[in-house]
Structure 1
Amino acid sequence: MNDAPLWPSYDSPDDLNGIEATPLADRGLPQSTYHLLARAAELWPQRPAVLCLPDARQWDEPMVRNHADLLTEVHRTANLLYKNNVRRDDAVALLSPNCAELIVATLAAQVAGIAAPINAGLSHSHIRELLRRSSARILVAAGPELDPLAWAVAREIAASGAIEALFVLRPTGKSTTTELLRIDGVQVVYLADAASECEETRFIGSAPSRDDLAALFHTGGTTGAPKLAAHTHANEVANAWMIAANSVLDEDSRLFAALPLFHVNALVVTVLAPLLRGQAVVWAGPLGYRDPAVYSSFWKIVEHHRIAAMSAVPTVYAVLSHCPVDADISSLRVCLVGASMLPAAVRTGFESHTGVPLLEGYGLTEATCASARSFSAATRPGAVGQRMAYQQIKAVSIDERGHWTDLPDGQVGTLAISGPTVFAGYVVGRDASGYQLDGLGTLVDGWLDTGDLGRVDADGFVYLTGRAKDLIIRGGHNIDPAMIEDVLLQHSSVTGAAAVAAPDTHSGEVPVAYVTLTPGVATTEKELLAWTTERVAEAAAAPRSVTVVDALPVTDVGKPYKLALRADAARRVAARALIEVDDVEHIEGTVEDGAVVITVSVGVGSDESAVRSALDAYPIIWRITERV
């Protein structure tokens, strides 16, 4: 097999034009994730592919699978799914924390049908809704030994009659068996046991092609029930190649993986991209970066396994910058960071602590995973990276009728992406011909509306300035929250900042800010408010308040969750408005289907008119409950 055209030199931003002179179609990419895995097994059969840690405390006792072993297990599992009537247009739902068997099951689901990973931490109603939208009749889920909470949800789903088979996963390295419940009409069995007798040398069905759907990823669930974004095999293979096509890492490099497999980063960055290069990946235990033991042992893990690269969110690097380096970490060459804005204090702290550069990236599920990358030898201050090869990124102005106007280089607008990684659409239904997909307003003539605000320079470097949907509209004046956050992040004590809208009787909305601080500093909220007011670019953007919190809320995959802060801001406003109202016992701000709702608990028989009079003056959704 000739790999000469597959891996061009990709060391600096100057390489981009030369790379794109060769069409992507001429680079010999595998046509599906199955062919990608089979290629790895053919080229490097005995080279380690995955090293799975049972948990962070057993960091030197991994379960090791080489590329040939991985393909064998994927064949067995894919054939089990095929024998259970999974065909090319059928989804297999996966509900489990990371473990060795989940990696196999995810790849196998893409061989036989379509993988539909689900975050077990979502509400039961969201999980059931995602299962309904995916039309999955097979569920692969964590067993009682691996994750009792996920197992409880899986049992509930099985008992409801929503699925036909429940295949159960064991913890990494464990062979113990718990007697599983029996449910009429539902096959309930350990996955490894059921797959052990299946054909292991080939897939007995038809192999997927590039245009077939490979996965349905939910988009995070920050507003109402999460959507299901459909990825084709071509989407995933192309993006995996774009990530793997770098000259920093070679075939002997080992990566560290700890993000959950229900997120695209874990699949594309730490499963598919390494398989293209024959690289080994060391997987953390089921809790990933949420396991405190990961941090206490992290530098020893790097030394023992000779980790060369890792991918995480800013909060992980903020913690690691305070973990004493008690091992030889000279193997660690690059640390990738994304999902949210990287505070300057976190970058400076981590790089000075470790000597390892943090390289920002940019991407979203609807563009498969990654769309921009940085270079350690060619930094561009303020940018999240240069557009990846074969992807195009531009800034556009979108008027009230939805018409797009391309903006010149350097001008801020809504970012749009085109190219081979743009998703096929959201699942909106299913009929006899398969899934019905719709961009739901995000796709325009092959371009994806990211919902992000930013600018793109002449060299293709992307500078994020905020989320379009996070705009604060003060008396009809649009305020980009990044304007406030940037000023706060310049303060030497601030490690994280988020600005959101708070309800106001006069302006409709006013900006307020939340910050995290370096441990032990004596900075006050009053001082931070004065600092920001003096430095913010326009008076309208001066926040009404600055609140210090222990941590800024994020989703399970580390992305900022500003709706939670908006709910807290609305709760504080409601509390001030009701301070003189008798019989108010409790005020709570929650997010329901993407909207902030204030619930006011009052004593039985209380006069509700005073509450109504106080809150009706604000643009707040609220309700009253009686509390004994």
Structure 2
Amino acid sequence: MGDRLWPTYDTPDDLAGIEAVPLGDRGLPGTTYELLFRAARLWPDRVALSVLPDGERWEQPAERSYAELLGDVHRYANMLHALGVRRTDGIALLAPNCDELITATLAAELAGIAAPINSGLSREHIAELLRRSGARVLVAAGPDLAPEVWESARELAVEAGMEALLALGPTRVGPGEPELHPIDGLRIAHVSALAAEQPPDAFVGPAPSATDLAAVFHTGGTTGTPKLAAHTHANEVSDAWMIAANGLLSDGVMFAALPLFHVNALLVTVLAPLFRGLRVIWAGPLGYRDQALYSRFWKLVERYRVTTMSAVPTVYSVLAGRPVDADISSLRFAVVGASPLPPAVRDGFESATGIRLVEGYGLTEATCVSALSFPHHPRPGSVGQRLPYQQVKAVQVTADGEWVDLLAGRVGVLAISGPTVFPGYVTDRGPDGRVLDGLGKLRDGWLDTGDLAWVDADGFIHLAGRAKDLIIRGGHNIEPAVIENALLAHPEVTAAQAVGRPDVHAGEVPVAFVTLAPGADATAEELRAWASDHVPEQAAAPKAVTVLDALPVTLVGKPFKPALRAEATREAVAEALRDMPSVTGVQGVVEDGAVVAVVGLAPGADESSVKEALGRFAITWRLELS
């Protein structure tokens, strides 16, 4: 199986040889459970997980071998089965990262369908996701892990008609567990206590098949409520293998800190390492938001001999400013994705550490990763080469909705096909279970990503902007509709549109543009405060609100957000360059659907400082002599 499972995959030229063998002949496990079982059989005594309680206690991890992890997953899955969970039932997971959450997520995919949810979403959104997920059991952070999440979970479980509410404890918890106050008609218990009563040697229920749903992940939605994307076991296993084949080494140690409600955390730092038998070092509940982690990060790399990590650009921007006070020679490369990578972040991190940033591209609807770069074969301006068995192309969408395939090098809407493309969104619950619908994103096996890009002859993807309106703040997806709906609820606002404004720290931040009713006197600051009070999460609170006489529209009267993104880009760049006398002006223009910042320079101006400032943004720009 070794040769079939691990073909040579070191350079861009290896792709054709890999695809000469059908994926079905590679010998991949059929499900995430089979993947875990295989790892426990091959490396029973190897450390699988080292989970830190928090950044302060970075030298005191809770550790489990692969054999112990499999036994714990059996216990948890058997506990869920004993509670009545069956193959098509959902298990909602509402908690920050901790040792037990990793086990619970894998067990949920074995016993039923995992439904990880961001506890930072509004209560209304969480309630709707619980309903659509079909969850019968809610696994949530207990009162000693996240008290505010636990209190919310108690209310949500009752309203959703859950059969059980199970509490997760903190990593390396001391003796004794806090009392869980009962609620009539709802089974409430500590996960660890119930699981301890179950056998660890096997799962007592029927195992899932490759075509069964493994999980449902929420992503940005067009109505404000996040959409729920379904993943089959085959989706997750095939994508995890592609990631592992690309560069995760068999003797490696991975660092993980992204939240497990995000597909990157599950695919890149849980499932892909299972293929290679890697040891994964997990940060505590705050993940990359734990400030204590940054002050010790390089020491942590040295202690655990970390070879690779995965994070968003903002993390690497912070790390670039931390003195390297340890031996980090074990760190071979670092993976970056989830939001555009500013050139200055790349240059700053690589020059400060000597570690290469490897860029990737993906989206929840294609399971997770669809393209990865090569550490030793960079392709400047690209987010990576398509992964094996995933096909990519740029298409032009005509006025009547037809797709026209574009030649290599031409910008269009990026489309993806292959074994990682999801079966659809969970739009409702019917008498026969979940109702799945592509919602216009699927066409003859191809996924419309909503991103503008061009693809070169070698399958490298070059992003050129976003056809969709999603705002990505530090890797966190924000649906503009939630901001627009909040502003439209103001009695003096007649129209509202929200877009992302480039930001050197978060990649982009939300801003909004509005029109007001005749005679209205609401100020921009009053509207910004109103929106902040009415959005479902503070990450969506706009940094600024601009009042316009009219919002831009297309020739047929449809909203034209690229013009607003261009204006937001102009404002951000102009602010960054305001103290540079050589800059004569800044424009934001829309070219081929993409936003470009055009900076005017006086004749003979020194371009270096301007380029340095522009490189801190993840934008397209050019300089022009005035």
- Please classify the TM superposition score into its range, dividing by the shorter chain length: 0.7 to 0.9
1:505 alignment partner in structure 2: 549
1:397 alignment partner in structure 2: 396
2:428 and 2:435 in contact (8 A); partners too: yes
The AA in structure 1 aligned to 2:275 is: L
The SS at the match of 1:82 is: helix
2:452 and 2:466 in contact (8 A); partners too: yes
The SS at the match of 2:296 is: helix
The AA in structure 2 aligned to 1:261 is: L
The AA in structure 2 aligned to 1:204 is: V
CA drift at 1:135: 1.5
2:23 alignment partner in structure 1: 24
Indicate the larger mover: 225-234 or 248-257. 248-257
The SS at the match of 1:302 is: helix
CA drift at 1:505: 3.2
Distance in 1, matches of 2:591 and 2:86, equals: 57
1:211 alignment partner in structure 2: 211
Q: 1:134 to 1:249 in 2, by over 3 A?
A: closer
The AA in structure 2 aligned to 1:206 is: P
1:114 and 1:213 in contact (8 A); partners too: yes
The AA in structure 1 aligned to 2:370 is: S
Alignment of 1:31-70 (within 5 A): 31-70=30-69
The AA in structure 2 aligned to 1:83 is: A
Distance in 1, matches of 2:591 and 2:405, equals: 26
2:220 and 2:470 in contact (8 A); partners too: no
Q: 1:31 to 1:527 in 2, by over 3 A?
A: farther
Q: 1:460 to 1:200 in 2, by over 3 A?
A: same
1:497 and 1:514 in contact (8 A); partners too: no
What is the number of residues matched between the two proteins?
528
1:328 alignment partner in structure 2: 327
The AA in structure 2 aligned to 1:505 is: D
Q: 1:75 to 1:111 in 2, by over 3 A?
A: same
Distance in 2, matches of 1:431 and 1:323, equals: 52
Q: 1:542 to 1:429 in 2, by over 3 A?
A: closer
The AA in structure 2 aligned to 1:44 is: W
1:94 and 1:141 in contact (8 A); partners too: yes
The AA in structure 1 aligned to 2:44 is: P
The AA in structure 2 aligned to 1:65 is: R
Distance in 2, matches of 1:140 and 1:235, equals: 24
1:200 alignment partner in structure 2: 200
Alignment of 1:589-608 (within 5 A): none
1:512 and 1:545 in contact (8 A); partners too: no
1:385 and 1:461 in contact (8 A); partners too: yes
1:513 and 1:543 in contact (8 A); partners too: no
Q: 1:42 to 1:542 in 2, by over 3 A?
A: closer
CA drift at 1:433: 3.0
The SS at the match of 2:324 is: coil
The AA in structure 2 aligned to 1:373 is: L
CA drift at 1:534: 9.6
1:362 and 1:371 in contact (8 A); partners too: yes
The AA in structure 1 aligned to 2:225 is: A
Tell me the alpha carbon deviations over residues 568-610 of structure 1, each in whole angstroms, 9 at most, x when there is no partner.
xxxxxxxxxxxxxxxxxxxxxxxxxxxxxxxxxxxxxxxxxxx
2:180 alignment partner in structure 1: 180
1:123 alignment partner in structure 2: 122
1:454 and 1:466 in contact (8 A); partners too: yes
The AA in structure 1 aligned to 2:567 is: V
Alignment of 1:389-428 (within 5 A): 389-428=388-427
Give the alignment partner of residue 578 of structure 2, picking from 509, 517, 524: 524
Q: 1:434 to 1:222 in 2, by over 3 A?
A: closer
The AA in structure 1 aligned to 2:549 is: T
1:266 alignment partner in structure 2: 265
Indicate the larger mover: 149-158 or 351-360. 149-158
Q: 1:421 to 1:351 in 2, by over 3 A?
A: same
Give the alignment partner of residue 533 of structure 1, picking from 577, 587, 597: 587
Distance in 2, matches of 1:506 and 1:132, equals: 39
Q: 1:223 to 1:372 in 2, by over 3 A?
A: farther
The SS at the match of 2:468 is: helix
1:498 and 1:514 in contact (8 A); partners too: no
1:96 alignment partner in structure 2: 95
Distance in 2, matches of 1:192 and 1:338, equals: 34
1:346 and 1:495 in contact (8 A); partners too: no
Alignment of 1:176-325 (within 5 A): 176-220=176-220, 224-246=224-246, 248-325=247-324
Matched, 1:348 2:325: no
Q: 1:536 to 1:127 in 2, by over 3 A?
A: closer
2:10 alignment partner in structure 1: 11
2:96 and 2:141 in contact (8 A); partners too: yes
Tell me the alpha carbon deviations over residues 277-321 of structure 1, each in whole angstroms, 9 at most, x when there is no partner.
100100000000011111111101100000000000000000100
Matched, 1:430 2:429: yes
The AA in structure 1 aligned to 2:28 is: L
Alignment of 1:439-518 (within 5 A): 439-470=438-469, 502=513, 504-505=548-549, 508=552, 510=564, 511-513=566-568
Distance in 2, matches of 1:161 and 1:423, equals: 27
Tell me the alpha carbon deviations over residues 50-95 of structure 1, each in whole angstroms, 9 at most, x when there is no partner.
1000011111111100000000000000001011111111110000
2:537 alignment partner in structure 1: none
Provide the identity percentage. 59
Distance in 1, matches of 2:551 and 2:183, equals: 57
Q: 1:525 to 1:437 in 2, by over 3 A?
A: farther
The AA in structure 1 aligned to 2:281 is: V
The SS at the match of 2:329 is: coil
Distance in 2, matches of 1:300 and 1:181, equals: 41
2:77 alignment partner in structure 1: 78
Distance in 2, matches of 1:314 and 1:530, equals: 30
The AA in structure 2 aligned to 1:445 is: D
1:564 alignment partner in structure 2: none
Tell me the alpha carbon deviations over residues 472-519 of structure 1, each in whole angstroms, 9 at most, x when there is no partner.
9xxxxxxxx99x97xxx9xxx99956797845436625532359999x
2:314 and 2:506 in contact (8 A); partners too: no
Distance in 2, matches of 1:50 and 1:516, equals: 46
Matched, 1:171 2:170: yes
The SS at the match of 2:135 is: coil
The AA in structure 2 aligned to 1:513 is: A
CA drift at 1:148: 1.3
Q: C-alpha root-mean-square deviation of aligned residues, in Å? A: 3.0
Distance in 2, matches of 1:276 and 1:516, equals: 47
1:416 and 1:448 in contact (8 A); partners too: yes
TM-score (norm 2): 0.79
Tell me the alpha carbon deviations over residues 359-378 of structure 1, each in whole angstroms, 9 at most, x when there is no partner.
11000000000000001111
2:535 alignment partner in structure 1: none
The AA in structure 1 aligned to 2:39 is: A
Distance in 2, matches of 1:218 and 1:313, equals: 19
CA drift at 1:466: 1.0
The SS at the match of 1:74 is: helix
Distance in 1, matches of 2:221 and 2:145, equals: 24
Distance in 2, matches of 1:310 and 1:440, equals: 34
CA drift at 1:532: 3.1
TM-score (norm 1): 0.79
Indicate the larger mover: 528-537 or 434-443. 528-537
1:257 and 1:282 in contact (8 A); partners too: yes
User: Which residues of structure 1 form unaligned runs of 5+?
Assistant: 473-480, 547-559, 561-628
1:345 and 1:495 in contact (8 A); partners too: no
The SS at the match of 1:513 is: helix
CA drift at 1:431: 3.0
CA drift at 1:432: 3.8
Q: 1:527 to 1:339 in 2, by over 3 A?
A: farther
The AA in structure 2 aligned to 1:294 is: L
Distance in 1, matches of 2:112 and 2:350, equals: 43
1:338 alignment partner in structure 2: 337
Q: 1:72 to 1:28 in 2, by over 3 A?
A: same
The SS at the match of 2:404 is: strand
Q: 1:410 to 1:177 in 2, by over 3 A?
A: same
The SS at the match of 2:463 is: strand
1:570 alignment partner in structure 2: none
The AA in structure 1 aligned to 2:586 is: T
